[in-house]
Structure 1
Amino acid sequence: MSRTAVITGIGVVAPGGIGRTAFWDLLSAGRTATRRISLFEPGGFRSQVAAEVDFDPRVHGLTAQQIRRMDRAAQFAVVCTREAVAESGLDLSSMEPERLAVSIGSAVGCTMGLEEEYAVLSDDGRRWLVDHTYGVPHLYGYMVPSSLAVAVAWEVAAEGPTALISTGCTSGLDAVTHGAALIEEGTADVVLAGATDAPLSPITSACFDAIMATSPNNDDPEHASRPFDADRDGFVLGEGAAVMVLEEMSAARRRGAHVYAAVAGYASRSNAFHMTGLKPDGREMAEAITVALDRARVDASAVDYVNAHGSGTKQNDRHETAAFKRSLGDHAYQRPVSSIKSMVGHSLGAIGSIEVAACCLALERQVVPPTANLHTPDPECDLDYVPLTAREHPMDTILSVGSGFGGFQSAVVITRV
C-alpha cells in the first residue's frame, strides 16, 4: 500500500513576527522586515542590511539552561517545533519513540555561537593560539551541526532516524522532502521536518561581501531586497526557521487531523558547474521540476502557483525564469510566480522550509503572497511575478523551488488533499 506524507502542523520563527499567524500577516500585507543590522555593528561592511528576527528566547518559553546550551539557530528550531506539534494535535508521548523521526536542514550550523566563542577564546582575535579553557561547556555542540537536529529530537523524545541535511540554500526544501521520504518508505510514522539558520554575524557578512552577493543598498534597507526587479543588486541576508509535522495521510485522516497539504513529489539535481555561478539556461532546475511533477503525477498545466527561489541576484532570477519556461512551457506565462525573500530576506538553509510553510498557508487561504519592491520589471524576467500586492487565486497545486551554492537545484510539489 502506498504511503503519502502530509503536513498537519506548522511552526515559524521569521523576520517580522514569531508564529505562523504573524508570518502570514506580514506576507499577505506585502510588508518587508529588512532593516539595518542591529545584532552587531555593521559599519565597514559593504552590505549593512538584513532581515532580523526580534526574538527573546525567555518570552518563548526556553529556560536559562536551554538558552545557555543552545545556539540561536537551535532555539529557533525548538520554538518552531513546539508550535507545530501543538497545532497538529498529536500526543507524541503515546507514540512508539522509534517511529518518530527528525529531519532538520541548515546551511551554516551554529554560526553565531561559534563566532562568539572564538572571540572569547582568541581574546577578540588578538591571540593566534586560542585558550580552550575559556570555552563554554557546550562548545563541541556548536561545532557539530547535527546538534540542531538533536535539539529537536530531545524536545519531542524522538528515537527514530535523526538527520541534519546541509545542502546549502536548498537545505530547507531537502530536509522537508527527506522527511516525506521517511514517511513514504515506512521508516517513520511522524517526522518533525524543517530547517533553521541564524547566520547574522560578522563572519557571514564578510564572506558575502567578498563575492559581492548581498545588496549594498544601505540607505534604503526596506527596499533592498528586490527579486526580479531591473534595479536589483543582490540578496538580503535573513535568519529564521520553520518546522512542520509530517505524518502518513491515512493515519492523519483517521484521527481527524487538519491537513494543510500533501508532499506530492520532489527532486534534486546539481549543475556540476561552479561553486556560486549558474548557467543561464536553467537546465538542471528545469529537470528537477520535471521529475518532481512526474513523481507527483501532475502535469505542468496543473501548477497553480510557483514559489520562486527569487534571491534578487541578477544571475539567479534570470536562470530561474529560464527554468520555469523550460519545464512548464507556455503555462509559465499563465501562472503567478512570487518570491517571499523580498519580505523576509534570504535565511540561507532555513528559507526553503520557511517557503514551504508559506506555500501551505497560501494554499489554505487561496492567496498568493506578493513580490515586494518589484517596481521596474527586468525585461529578461517576463513572467507574472505578482508585484507589490497579494492576490486571491484558486490553487490546488503549488511548486516551490530552491537553488544553492554548490550547484544544488531542488523542487517540491505540494497539493491539497
Structure 2
Amino acid sequence: MSARRVVVTGIGVVAPGGIGVKNLWSLLSEGRTATRGITFFDPSPFRSRVAAEIDFDAEASGLSPQEIRRMDRAAQLAVVAARESIEDSGLETGGLDPYRLGVTIGSAVGATTGLDQEYRVVSDSGRLALVDHDYAVPHLYNYFVPSSFAAEIAWTAGAQGPSTVVSTGCTSGIDAVGHAAELIREGSADVMIAGATDAPISPITLACFDAIKATTPRNDDPEHASRPFDGTRNGFVLGEGSAVFVLEELTTARRRGAHCYAEIAGYASRCNAFHMTGLRPDGAEMAEAITVALAEARVAPDEVDYINAHGSGTKQNDRHETAAFKKSLGEHAYRTPVSSIKSMVGHSLGAIGSIEIAASALAMEHDLVPPTANLHTADPECDLDYVPVTAREWRTDTVLTVGSGFGGFQSAMVLTVPGKRSA
C-alpha cells in the first residue's frame, strides 16, 4: 500500500438552509431545521408532502444562462459547490498537470428533476403515449446520463485525469470521496475534485417513497418532521443538495501552504446481500465496514471522538446502525457522541454522504458536535448519546461518518486531524 496520504483542502456546499459552507455550519451549529412543506410543485396527491428544499438561484450563484439551460438542477448544484471548493482550497487548477487532476461525483438518482419535467413536456402531461421530441430541451441527453455530472465538474476544473460517477444509492456521497482518495493513494492522481449531488424532490420520487412508506407523513409540522433516533419518528424527510471537496496528497498540500481540514484516514464499504430495502437487525455489515475503515486508518475504536450517523429517521435504520456502533466500538460506543444532521437538512439521497463529510470536517475544525434536532423522546433500542437538540463543544480529532443505502450498501469513513497518525 502506498504511503501517500489524502487530505481535504477545499469544501463547497449547496444545501438546505443556504448556499455555501458558512451557511451550512451556521444551520448545523445552531440546531436549526430547513425542512418545510414542498413548494416546488403541488404535493397534495402524495402521502408525504414535506422536504428540505434549497432556495437556489442559479444565476445569482454564478451560472451563465447557457449553463443553466444545459444542466439539470443536480448538475447546477454540483458545479456551484465545486467552484466554492476550488476557491476555498486556493488551488490554481490551471497550473496543474491536467492528467493528474481527476473528478469523482456520486449521485443516487441522477437528473431526476430534469427528466421528470421534460417527460411532462414531451408527453403533454402524460396525454401522449408517443411523446413528441420536438418539445424537449436540446440537452436532454445530458439529463439521461449521470456521467454528465462528472463532465461538467471536469470542464469547470480543467481536469483531464480519472473521471467517474459513483451511484450506490444513499452511500454514493461517501463512496465517491472514498474512491477519489484511493486514486490519490495509489498514485493515479495528485488532486481530485470529489463529492456528490442529488436534486430528487419531484413527483416521481415522492411517489416511489410513498409506495414503500419510507418518508414521513407528518405534514402538519414540517419543521419537526425529521426525528432520527426519536421514539416518535415515522420516516425520513426528503432533501436535496451537493457537497464537493478538493482532495490532495498531504505533503504536497502542506508544501503549498494549504489549509487542511481533515485527513481521509480510512474508508470501507460492504453490502448485506440480503434485501433491497431491509436491514439485518444486528448491523453486522455496517459494523464490518466500520472495523475495516478503522483498521485502514490505524485508529482504535476507543479513539473515535464523534460519530456522524446515517440517522435517516426510520426505525429500521436507526436501530440497525445503533447495533453496528455497539458491535464495532464495544463499550466505547456508549461514551461517544452520535448525531444525525438529517434532522436539519433532510435526506438528499446520494448527496447526503458528502454533506455529512463536510459536516464532520467542520465539526473537527470547530471542536463542536452538531446536534440531532427534534430528539425529545427516547427509544429504548437506541440508547447511545445522540446529542439531542443542542450542539456540544467537544474535542473532535477523529470522526467516524457512516452511510446506509437501499440495496444493502453500508459505508464508513474515518477522518482525522491531518498528520495525527504516524506515517
TM-score norm. by structure 1 comes to: 1.00
Partner of 1:326: 327
Cα distance in structure 1, aligned partners of 2:63 and 2:150: 17
1:216-227 alignment runs, 5 A limit: 216-227=217-228
Partner of 1:28: 29
Cα distance in structure 1, aligned partners of 2:119 and 2:150: 23
Partner of 1:246: 247
Partner of 2:169: 168
Partner of 2:99: 98
Q: Secondary structure at the match of 1:289?
A: helix
Cα distance in structure 2, aligned partners of 1:82 and 1:44: 38
Q: Deviations over 1:96-151 (max 9, x none)?
A: 10010000000000001101110011010001111112211111110001111111
Q: Secondary structure at the match of 1:55?
A: coil
| Greater CA drift, 399-408 or 129-138 | 129-138
1:338 is matched by which residue type in structure 2? Answer: S
Partner of 1:315: 316
Partner of 2:282: 281
Partner of 1:379: 380
1:286-301 alignment runs, 5 A limit: 286-301=287-302
Q: Secondary structure at the match of 1:130?
A: coil
Q: Secondary structure at the match of 2:414?
A: strand
Cα distance in structure 2, aligned partners of 1:192 and 1:76: 14
TM-superposed CA distance for 1:16, in Å, is 0.3
Cα distance in structure 2, aligned partners of 1:2 and 1:416: 17
| Greater CA drift, 127-136 or 103-112 | 127-136
1:78 is matched by which residue type in structure 2? Answer: V
Q: Deviations over 1:150-190 (max 9, x none)?
A: 11011111100100000000000000101100110111111
Cα distance in structure 1, aligned partners of 2:45 and 2:82: 37
Partner of 1:83: 84
Partner of 1:153: 154
Partner of 1:270: 271
1:13-412 alignment runs, 5 A limit: 13-412=14-413
Question: Identity over the aligned pairs, expressed in percent?
Answer: 71
Cα distance in structure 2, aligned partners of 1:55 and 1:265: 34
Question: For this pair of structures, how many residues does the alignment match?
Answer: 417
Cα distance in structure 2, aligned partners of 1:52 and 1:123: 26
CA RMSD of aligned residues (A): 0.5
Cα distance in structure 2, aligned partners of 1:202 and 1:226: 23
In structure 2, the gaps of 5 or more residues are 419-423
Q: Secondary structure at the match of 1:45?
A: coil
Partner of 2:415: 414
Cα distance in structure 2, aligned partners of 1:87 and 1:201: 32
TM-superposed CA distance for 1:299, in Å, is 0.3
The runs of 4+ residues in structure 1 deviating greater than 6 Å are: none
TM-superposed CA distance for 1:258, in Å, is 0.3
Q: Secondary structure at the match of 1:210?
A: helix
Q: Secondary structure at the match of 2:217?
A: coil
1:384 is matched by which residue type in structure 2? Answer: D
2:208 is matched by which residue type in structure 1? Answer: C
Cα distance in structure 1, aligned partners of 2:233 and 2:222: 13
Cα distance in structure 1, aligned partners of 2:156 and 2:78: 10
Cα distance in structure 2, aligned partners of 1:40 and 1:136: 20
Q: Secondary structure at the match of 2:294?
A: helix
Q: Deviations over 1:362-417 (max 9, x none)?
A: 00000000000000011100000000000000011000000000000000000002
Q: Secondary structure at the match of 2:22?
A: helix
Cα distance in structure 1, aligned partners of 2:374 and 2:179: 33
Q: Secondary structure at the match of 2:280?
A: coil
Q: Deviations over 1:281-308 (max 9, x none)?
A: 0000000000000000010000000000
Cα distance in structure 2, aligned partners of 1:328 and 1:378: 20
